[in-house]
Chain A
Amino acid sequence: MKSAFTKTKAAAVTVTAIAALPLILSGCGASSPAASGPVSELTVVDYYNNEPDKTVIGDTLVACGTESGVTIKRETVPGKSLIAKVLQQASSKTLPDVLMLDNPDLQQIASSGALAPLSDFKISTDNYPQGILSAGTYKDKVYGLAPTVNTIALFYNKDLLDQAGVTPPKTWDELKAAAAKLTSGGQYGLAFDANATYEGTWQFLPFMWSNGGDEKNIATPETAEALELWTDLVKSGSVSSSALNWTQADVNDQFIAGKAAMMVNGPWQIPVLDKQSALHYGVVNIPVKDSTKTAVGPLGGEVWTVPQTGNKAKQAKAAEIVGCMNSDKNQLAMAKARNTIPSKSTLAAQFAAENPKLASFTELVKTARARTGQLGEDWPAQATKIYTAIQNALTDKANATDALKQAQEG
């Protein structure tokens, strides 16, 4: 009898030990928070795993490390797995010393308590436009700063527009007319990304915002008008219904192949576009409903943050790196190398003069809005509602007004 008991107990002990293993394993990886003294190495995590970004960011990080007297141990992860990794690291207390986040994710991570406010380290937030600061702000504290930012605009094929005698559209009516005129055979007037992801939402935002639409409540006539514009363009055949499934990269491919005369896209496509010697393109603001409205773009770009690792000395050094990444010199150099826009307002004019191709984007980011500016950590749920409404309207499941109403009510 007793033997049987001992046996079960032994088994129970074994099982408990094994069950506890993940906890022990994760515990082992944690840096001892109390340890202080000279800091010689900092860990960095970002998702710039494509060229030229990978090298440009990497070199800048190393240079900043040298300035602060630390070596940088950098890890680049695929964009889609960054958040999963950060959450996993947060639960096992193994967050990196310096962390890059896509700006709409910042508030989500900051709300978890994993980030240190930059005001703890006296990093200056002067000279940043409001949109950029609000993207990095959670509950009145700035947690992340973006050295360079981007937004989206309207690219047009100069040759195709010239042939058709069309000038780049400025208003929605002009856009519809131009797109219709540029549609023939296998060529569509316009291409955009209306797919069932946050990319679809992001592409719709300039139309919604410039017309006075509000992400807090999408069931408004202003947003419905913007969605009707998209629906009209697809129904009339000026935009392929494939837009429902295209990514921004697909849209770019259509534009390069001459199958779309205009497209909604961002400056990160410029290196690819410039490789096409036969392609002549221009960039203008995304058309607004009428001349009384101003273009408002969504703000893109990644912010650098200092996670709460518990090691004060390392956090101070990490803050130096974040500050260095955001220095005037580095902002200008990285923006030029990566075809993005320096975020500080004071640098914009100089940058636009030196990089005329990016001039429209430089103008646009001044007034660009952060996706999380109003909703903060509630943004992902609302962004899902927006692309759901877009998909329902474009597939004719509901008209624009109803689609938005249904989505808003969930």
Chain B
Amino acid sequence: MSAAVQSRLHLTVPETQNDAGPRRPGYRRRERIYQWLFLAPAVAYLVLFFGYPVVKNVLMSFQDYSTGTFYTGEAPWVGFANYVTVLSSSLFSTSLINTALFTAGSIAGQFVLGLALAVFFKRKFPLNGMLRSLLLLPWLLPLIVSSAVWRWILDKDSGALNNFLESAGIISTGIPWLTSTSLALAAVVGVNIWIGIPFNVTVLYGGLQDIPDELYEAASLDGATGWKAFRHVTWPMLRPVVSVVLVLGVVYTLKVLDIILGLTNGGPANSTQTIATQSYALSFQDFKFGEGAAMGNILVLISLVFAVLYLRVNRRAVDE
């Protein structure tokens, strides 16, 4: 930088001299500007695609937002009326319980099976790579395709699963997987576990790769092999990855929509209705956008609880 440029900067913004430190104040200031310029795209992106919708959604939940609003722009403020309607509806407790069961069941299944598969694939054996890539298939399929295929597999009369069970002599009449109020939620959870396994395997497998082999060698000298090695080496070393997988899993699962809509539409008799599907139905089927937004915000709040938990757990881990 030439002295001329520096002095000109001094001329235009003489105030900076006062508080920007004794040396090369113009340089400091320019550095700040550059920092902001580099940040600007990220900030713009966040504000546009995250900030705007979130703020809009919160505002909407306090408004009487109807189809007319889209044309006239008029949406009267109604305070907490939408929240009151949504929370006092007889369906809310059903949705809340279903959301909890769906999330807990999906996470437990995905995680246990994912971890088992990740540990299994850590060994070296023929076709390992190919099998591992096949495992990713559920992840690659569009969700709408997966749910359509599973709907066909789980059909009571002509579904592949019941046909198989019948020909194997396990059952005599078809099991109504998706049309029994007591089975439908379990069936939907099962499909969601299938969809979630690749994510769990991939991340956990990555975590396993980071555990040095020397630790296992040392452990085996102490007599820790097999289950003991897993208990005392693998699990403690994997814990940071595990917490990431679980928290992300919970947040992903809470908002699952397409799988449930594709498989059962929340039926039979609301037995697979969750807060997410309920929010969708309120907004886009009943055109009650304010109530739909309120329901969505309740879901965001629940997700936030888990995010805060995650941050606290992580901070403690760092502090230790």
Contact = CB atoms under 8 A, between A and B. Distances in A.
Interface of A: 1-4, 7, 10-11, 14-15, 18-19, 21-22, 83-84, 87-88, 90-91, 108-109, 111-114, 186, 188, 195-198, 240-245, 254, 257, 259, 308, 377, 380-381, 384, 388, 391-392, 394-395, 397, 410
Given A91-B71, A111-B68, A394-B268, A410 B157 contact: no
Interface string B268-303: 111100000000010011111000000000000000
B267 interface: yes
Contacts of A21: 48
B19 interface: yes
A241 B178 CA distance: 10
Contacts of B264: 196, 245
B139 interface: no
A126 B290 CA distance: 40
B234 interface: no
Interface stretch (B36-44, B218-226, B304-312): B36-44
A1 B19 CA distance: 7
A245 B151 contact: yes
Nearest to A387: B267
B228 to A, nearest CB: 47
B19 A3 contact: yes
A112 B268 contact: no
Contact of B90 (A7, A195, A243, A410): A410
Contacts of B287: 108, 377, 380
A114 B48 contact: no
Interface residues of B, number: 50
Contact of B67 (A19, A112, A397): A112
Given A113-B68, A241-B176, A381-B286, A18 B157 contact: no
A208 B267 CA distance: 21
Given A14-B40, A18-B47, A384-B286, A242 B155 contact: yes
Given A245-B264, A395-B181, A3 B44 contact: no
Contacts of A3: 13, 15-16, 18-20, 29
A245 B15 contact: no
B70 A196 contact: no
Main SS class of interface, A: helix
Contact of A391 (B13, B43, B69, B268): B268
A395 B13 CA distance: 76
A69 to B, nearest CB: 29
Interface in B121-158: 151, 155-158
A308 B68 CA distance: 13
B284 A112 contact: no
A384 B73 CA distance: 27
Contact of B265 (A18, A109, A197): A197
Given A15-B47, A391-B269, A2 B71 contact: no
A196 B179 contact: no
B202 interface: no
20 contacts: A3-B16, A3-B19, A14-B40, A90-B70, A195-B265, A196-B266, A196-B268, A196-B270, A241-B156, A242-B178, A244-B178, A244-B267, A245-B265, A254-B158, A259-B158, A380-B285, A380-B286, A388-B269, A391-B268, A395-B181
B32 interface: yes
Interface in B1-53: 13, 15-16, 18-20, 29, 32, 36, 40, 43-44, 47-48, 51-52
Ranked nearest first, the 9 interchain pairs of A and B with the lowest CB-CB distance are A196-B267, A112-B68, A391-B269, A87-B70, A244-B179, A196-B265, A91-B70, A90-B70, A90-B71
B167 interface: no
Contacts of B176: 241-242
A109 B269 contact: no
Contacts of B286: 380-381, 384
- Determine which residue in A3, A111, A377 has the highest number of CB atoms from chain B within 10 A of its CB, and name it: A3
B180 interface: yes
